[in-house]
């Protein structure tokens, strides 16, 4: 349990670094170039760290079609999120993205055949209302970047559902490597149609060099966290990301969430925690019933 919490805490510490790095770079460099750096770094670090142990098996999947969809969805999620960050403060983007686990609950019915009761459906609806509080559709202050963050949450939720389906088929090392390769191929295909700007300072070059590492390690630690601990223990730790993004957003960009963002975030997090708690209760009841038999 403690190892699972530690892994998730590490992921929570790394994702704000990734997002802050992208938001910083987006002020000076074309977004396709940032995509390419993110996924090139992902693949380079994966191959360097994992290939000596796994060899060519690192690139072999029993379900290549599912892995291709996962790679496409992960790239789409990154694209929506990174583009949204150009106009949305870090903490606001983080709060909206928390609807991802809520979407996973909704998608688990058609895609995984799971049963979701009225209580969890109610929590799903309330969670979406929290996102609407932040986005405020129809208001003069609505930010279309927030809509992109919601599309990121949807894409990443489908990615997570497919990850569940593939989790017992391919090793985690294979899945995370193939997801990175897919993003690398897509971003490389886009690069010829975009302007390229060399880093203007050593600091910028260092950020370009590490942006892929933050994304890779963040997703890897999330995978390891769910391997070692149940969702009821691991998922609540993930909401700590809002703290890191709020601090970095204020220190680097001078942004601080307004009352609407805090209110919406509280609604989303509360709904997500209830769904997690409810799933834990149901799983415990199932185990008790099997034991009694």
Whether the pLDDT of residue 112 is over 90: the answer is no
Residue 199 dihedral angles phi and psi, to the nearest 5°: -55, 135
Whether the pLDDT of residue 233 is over 70: the answer is no
Torsion, Cα 112 113 116 121, to 10 degrees, reads 60
Mean predicted confidence (pLDDT) in 146-159: 88
Predicted confidence at residue 115, as pLDDT, reads 73
Which tens digit of pLDDT belongs to each residue from 170-201? 888 888 899 999 999 999 999 999 888 999 99
Which tens digit of pLDDT belongs to each residue from 70-100? 999 999 999 999 999 888 888 888 888 888 7
Predicted confidence at residue 43, as pLDDT, reads 93
* CA–CA dist 1, 230 (Å, integer): 8
Residue 290 burial (CB < 10 Å; 0-12/13-18/19+)?
Answer: exposed
Mean predicted confidence (pLDDT) in 56-81: 92
Judged by average pLDDT, the poorest of 25-39, 180-194, 219-233 is 219-233
- Residue entry with tokens 């686990």: 101
Whether the pLDDT of residue 141 is over 50: the answer is no
Whether the pLDDT of residue 205 is over 90: the answer is yes
When pLDDT is cut at 50, 70 and 90, the band that residue 31 belongs to is very high
Predicted confidence at residue 72, as pLDDT, reads 94
Residues 169 and 90 sit within 8 Å (Cβ to Cβ): no
Whether the pLDDT of residue 140 is over 70: the answer is no
Predicted confidence at residue 237, as pLDDT, reads 74
Query: 182 vs 258, which has greater pLDDT?
Result: 182
* CA–CA dist 290, 162 (Å, integer): 27
Residues 212 and 187 sit within 8 Å (Cβ to Cβ): no
Judged by average pLDDT, the poorest of 41-50, 107-116, 126-135, 262-271 is 107-116
Biggest CA-to-CA distance, the chain: 67
Tokens of 222: 């999330």
Whether the pLDDT of residue 146 is over 70: the answer is yes
Mean predicted confidence (pLDDT) in 109-135: 78
Whether the pLDDT of residue 218 is over 80: the answer is yes
* Three-class HEC string of the chain: CHHHHHHHHHHHHHHHHHHHHHHHHCCCCCHHHHHHHHHHHHHHHHHHHHHHHHHHHHHCCCCHHHHHHHHHHHHHHHHHHHHHHCCCCHHHHHHHHCCHHHHHHHHHHHHHCCCCCHHHHHHHHHHHHHHHHHHCCCCCCCCHHHHHHHHHHHHHHHHHHHHHHHCCCCCHHHHHHHHHHHHHHHHHHHHHHCCCCCCCCHHHHHHHHHHHHHHHHHHHHHHHHHHHCCHHHHHHHHCCHHHHHHHHHHHHHCCCCCHHHHHHHHHHHHHHHHHHHHHHHHHHHHHHHHHHC
Judged by average pLDDT, the poorest of 10-14, 80-84, 113-117, 155-159 is 113-117
């Amino acid at each position: 349990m403690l190892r699972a919490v530690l892994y998730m805490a590490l992921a929570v510490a790394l994702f704000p670094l990734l997002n802050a790095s992208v938001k910083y770079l987006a002020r000076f460099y074309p977004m396709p170039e940032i995509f390419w750096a993110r996924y090139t770094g992902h693949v380079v670090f994966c191959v360097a760290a994992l290939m000596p142990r796994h060899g060519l098996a690192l690139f072999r999947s029993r379900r290549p079609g599912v892995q291709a969809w996962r790679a496409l969805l992960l790239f789409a999620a990154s694209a929506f999120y990174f583009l949204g960050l150009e106009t949305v403060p870090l903490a606001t983007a983080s709060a909206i993205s928390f609807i991802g686990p809520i979407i996973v609950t909704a998608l688990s019915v058609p895609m995984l055949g799971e049963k979701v009761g009225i209580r969890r459906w109610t929590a799903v609806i309330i969670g979406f209302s929290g996102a609407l509080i932040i986005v405020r559709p129809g208001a003069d202050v609505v930010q279309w970047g927030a809509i992109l963050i919601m599309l990121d949450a949807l894409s990443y939720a489908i990615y997570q559902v497919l990850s569940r389906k593939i989790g017992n088929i391919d090793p985690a090392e294979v899945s995370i490597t193939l997801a990175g390769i897919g993003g690398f191929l897509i971003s490389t295909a886009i690069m010829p149609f975009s302007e390229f700007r060399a880093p203007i300072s050593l600091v910028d070059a260092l950020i370009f060099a590490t942006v892929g590492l933050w994304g890779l390690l963040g997703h890897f630690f999330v995978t390891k966290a769910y391997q070692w601990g149940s969702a009821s223990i691991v998922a609540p730790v993930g909401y700590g990301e809002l703290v890191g993004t709020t601090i970095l957003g204020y220190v680097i960009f001078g942004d601080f969430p307004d009352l609407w963002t805090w209110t919406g975030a509280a609604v989303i997090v509360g709904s997500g925690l209830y769904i997690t708690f409810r799933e834990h209760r149901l799983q415990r009841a199932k185990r008790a019933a099997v034991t009694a038999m």
